Homo-oligomer: A and B are copies of this chain.
Amino acid sequence: MLITFLSDFGTKDEWVSSCKGIIKSIAEQSEIIDITHDIESFNVVVGAMILSRASSNYKPCVHLAIVDPGVGTRRDPIAIETETGHIFVGPDNGLLTLAAENFGIKNVVKITNEKVFNKPVSTTFHARDIFAPAAAYLSLGKPLSYLGEVRDKNTIKTLAISFASFKQKVLEAQVIEVDKFGSLRLNIQKEEFQRYIKPAQSVHLKSKYFETSAPYVEAFGDIKAGEIGLIIDSSDLATIFVNRANASTKLGLKTGSKITVAF
């Protein structure tokens, strides 16, 4: 069975390939597809959002995900089986929950079976020593129960991602991700945004550095190169972009920046 792999390990060190070596040693036939390893170091929230968006494009398979600032301390290594057959493996710090809830959480286990581990288990690299082999055994068809004891599914950690709402006609938003093109993803969900604003209407944007009006468009190319627009992209979040340019650089905004959206 396919294994997807997400982490904040980057690709300059050997860590990702060390995990893959362990997986391949156990499950020679299992294919591994990287989601990304460039999650900002320790940023569990962005990791959770990206895992959630990526996994929705896969048929049932195993998703190995590691953003684990608490490695080697008391936080359970877990595996979550969903109603659809997708299985998530990683630390119990909220990283997996958002994605797993999309599919409906069915069972959760704490990974405790030492026969699964790559031994001796280090205190710094559970990805290689616990999570990767667990994912490998699952990809071979081993049941969740092989990995360890059942956990109450209502006790796994969830993340509090605070999405913003319009109050009157004004919304105090925050940039929660800057994508590769420099577009600025805001903490405004599609439904909230579209409740008030229709395509081709304009909104008023105001930050510390600039004030402007910008149209809500459906395609990046609906505005001229260099112009500012708002779009609901594949993240299902309201996103500020500059056509054929980098909105983050151009507007001086980055992750965490505050911006007021009004209509």
Contact = CB atoms under 8 A, between A and B. Distances in A.
Contacts of A39: 12
A155 interface: no
A14 B50 contact: yes
A76 to B, nearest CB: 14
B54 A18 contact: yes
A9 B221 CA distance: 17
Interface stretch (A19-27, A167-175, A206-214): A19-27
B59 A18 contact: no
Interface in A2-16: 2, 4, 8-16
User: What band does the interface of chain A fall in when counting residues whose beta carbon is under 8 Å from B?
Assistant: 35 or more
Nearest to A225: B69
Contact of A218 (B25, B72, B219): B72
Interface stretch (A102-110, A117-125, A135-143, A144-152): A117-125
Interface string A160-204: 000000000000000000011110000000000000000000000
Interface in A30-79: 32-39, 41-42, 50-51, 53-55, 57-59, 69-73
B219 A15 contact: no
Contacts of A53: 14, 18
Work out how many copies of this chain go into the complex: 3
B18 A220 contact: no
A179 B13 CA distance: 6
B24 A58 contact: yes
Contacts of A182: 41
A83 interface: no
A222 interface: yes
A124 B231 contact: yes
Contacts of A219: 71-73, 123-124
Given A41-B246, A70-B221, A33 B59 contact: no
Nearest to A21: B57
B14 A54 contact: yes
- Which of A11, A39, A246 gathers most chain B CB within 10 Å? A11
Nearest to A232: B124
Nearest to A51: B14
17 contacts: A4-B17, A10-B179, A13-B36, A13-B50, A14-B53, A14-B54, A17-B35, A24-B59, A41-B181, A41-B182, A71-B221, A72-B222, A123-B218, A123-B219, A124-B218, A124-B219, A125-B234
